[in-house]
Amino acid sequence: MAKTLNIGLIGQKFMGRAHSNAWGQVPKFFDDVKIRPTLHTICGRDARELKAFAAQWGWGATTTNWKDLADDDAIDLVDIGTPNDLHAPQAIAMLEAGKHVACEKPLAGTLADARAMRDAARRAKKAKTFVWYNYRRCPAVALAHRLVKEKKLGRIYHVRATYLQDWGGPKTPLLWRFKKKHAGSGAHGDLNAHIIDMSRFVLGDEIAEVNGAVAKTFITERTIPGSRKKGKSDVDDCVLFLGTFKGGATASFEATRLAAGNQNRNTLEVNGEKGSVRFDFEDMNVLWHHDATEGAKTAGWTRVMCTDADNHPYARHWWPDAHVIGYEHGFTNMAADICRVLAGKKPEVPLPDFADAYETQRVLEAALIAAKERCAVKMREVK
pLDDT, position 1: 54
Same-domain status, 297 and 253 = yes
**Residue 116 to residue 136: CA distance in whole angstroms:** 25
* Domain stops at, among 134, 154, 188: 134
Inside any domain, residue 361: yes
Residues 71, 154, single domain; the answer is no
User: What integer pLDDT is reported at residue 359 of this predicted model?
Assistant: 98
Is 180 within a domain? yes
If asked whether residues 244 and 99 sit together in one domain, one would say: no
Q: How many domains does the chain have?
A: 2
- pLDDT tens sequence across 147-173: 999 999 999 999 999 999 999 999 999
CA distance 197 to 184: 18
Q: Are residues 95 and 241 in the same domain?
A: no
Residue 199: CATH number of its domain: 3.30.360.10
196 and 128 housed in the same domain? no
Decide which of 134, 157, 190 is a domain's last residue. 134
> Exposed, middle or buried by CB within 10 Å (0-12, 13-18, 19+), for 144?
buried
For residues 224 and 229, give the distance between their C-alpha atoms in angstroms, rounded to a whole number. Answer: 6
Last residue of a domain, one of 134, 154, 181: 134
CATH code of the domain in which 45 resides: 3.40.50.720
Residue 383 domain-assigned (yes or no): no
Helix runs in the chain, H state only: 14-29, 47-57, 67-71, 87-96, 111-123, 139-149, 180-183, 187, 193-203, 327-342, 354-373
Residue 90 lies in a domain: yes
Residue at 227 is within a domain: yes
Domain that holds residue 126: 3-134
Shared domain check, 146 and 127: no
* Residue type (1 letter), 359: E
Look up residue 133 and give its amino acid: Y
Let me know whether 45 and 120 are in one domain. yes
CA-wise closest residue to 126 among 96, 149, 150:
96
Does 305 lie in the same domain as 248?
A: yes
- What is the reported pTM? 0.96
Same structural domain, 199 and 301: yes
In a domain, 382, yes or no: no
Same domain, 58 and 161: no
- pLDDT for the residue numbered 125: 85
Question: Is 47 within a domain?
Answer: yes
Name residues of the chain where pLDDT drops below 50: none
Residues 170 and 280 in one domain: yes
Q: Is residue 380 part of a domain?
A: no
In a shared domain, residues 269 and 290: yes
